[in-house]
Amino acid sequence: MPIKVQKNIPAKKILEEENIFVMDEERAVTQDIRPLKIAILNLMPLKEDAEVYLLRSLSNTPLQVDITFLTTKSYEGKNTPKSHLEQFYKFYDDIKDEKFDGLIVTGAPVENLEFEEVAYWDELTQILEWSKTNVTSTLHICWGAQAGLYYHYGIRKVQLEKKLSGIYKHEVMNRRHPLVRGFDDIFYAPHSRYTEADREMIDESGLFTVLAKSEEAGYFILLAQNGRHVFVMGHPEYDRYTLDKEYQRDLNKGINPDIPVSYYPDDNPSEKPLMTWRAHANTLYSNWLNYYVYQLTPYVL
């Protein structure tokens, strides 16, 4: 079944070229079903790239999904054309009286700042508070996961000795949970961050179920409130070349980054990166939509 988006959004054409079924508004109104309403708070700097990654990940399901993209009014990034934001995005004030089946809060390249120092922190906390009563399940990704853990549960973030970047091996910790149904015992996922949520505070709180973790990258998937809050510490939605773009960007800035772990064949950045995480990424997003959104949300929102 399709992802429903606005007719002219550029991501639609890219996904259709990959034979992913994306339905525009005109066709969707002819179907007598209620699609799942999913809001995506896109905090990534390259918003158009993130749209493709997330829509691709959400497309592998028999459910029709109606997407609303959100951005912040208090901070406007420099990497996405204003015309694109005006045409395809809404602000919190536009949707605050609506209810959604699901919400996705993306990562953002601000982890070296204290949460309260982030330009849109007050607006983000307003949205996170709103989600408690207006959203069935919220999926938080990378920095979005750290922000959600801090706001909802007071879990601090910890600075890492160096940037965690690459494709890391993870282990499923609790196979009984539907979110990891269909996962292999060992799977791989991308990470790209300078901080992590405080593992000791997570353990001591007793509020979370750890569904997957990595010896090198730490906790990967956490569940709270029976799935109303899902925290994914990495970027399973990343495309083949996303880490490569970040690596080249850091090189150009003179940061002298380490080569992303287990990413390029023979650690050679001139080689085509290996795609080793897509199947589990698709399974993760499909499971979230099915078991923690569709199965739990009321028909009348």
Question: Considering 140, 229, 235, 280, which one is annotated as catalytic?
Answer: 235
* Cβ-based neighbours of 201, under 8 Å, separated by 6 or more: 154, 155, 156
- Phi, psi of 229, rounded to the nearest 5 degrees: -120, 120
Residue 237 is a catalytic residue = yes
Would you call 98 exposed, middle or buried from its count of C-beta atoms within 10 A (0-12, 13-18, 19+)?
A: middle
Going by C-alpha positions, the residue among 285, 282, 237 that lies closest to residue 44 is: 237
Residue 16 is a catalytic residue = no
Rounded alpha-carbon distances, angstroms, from residue 53 to 48, 95, 220, 249: 9, 23, 19, 19
Cβ atoms of 253 and 244 closer than 8 Å: no
Question: Considering 111, 140, 142, 170, which one is annotated as catalytic?
Answer: 142
Residue 191 is a catalytic residue = no
Question: Considering 196, 237, 246, 280, which one is annotated as catalytic?
Answer: 237
| Separation of CA 107 from chain center | 6
Can you tell me the distance from the alpha carbon of 227 to that of 225, in angstroms, rounded to the nearest whole number?
5
Which residues are part of the catalytic machinery? 142, 235, 237
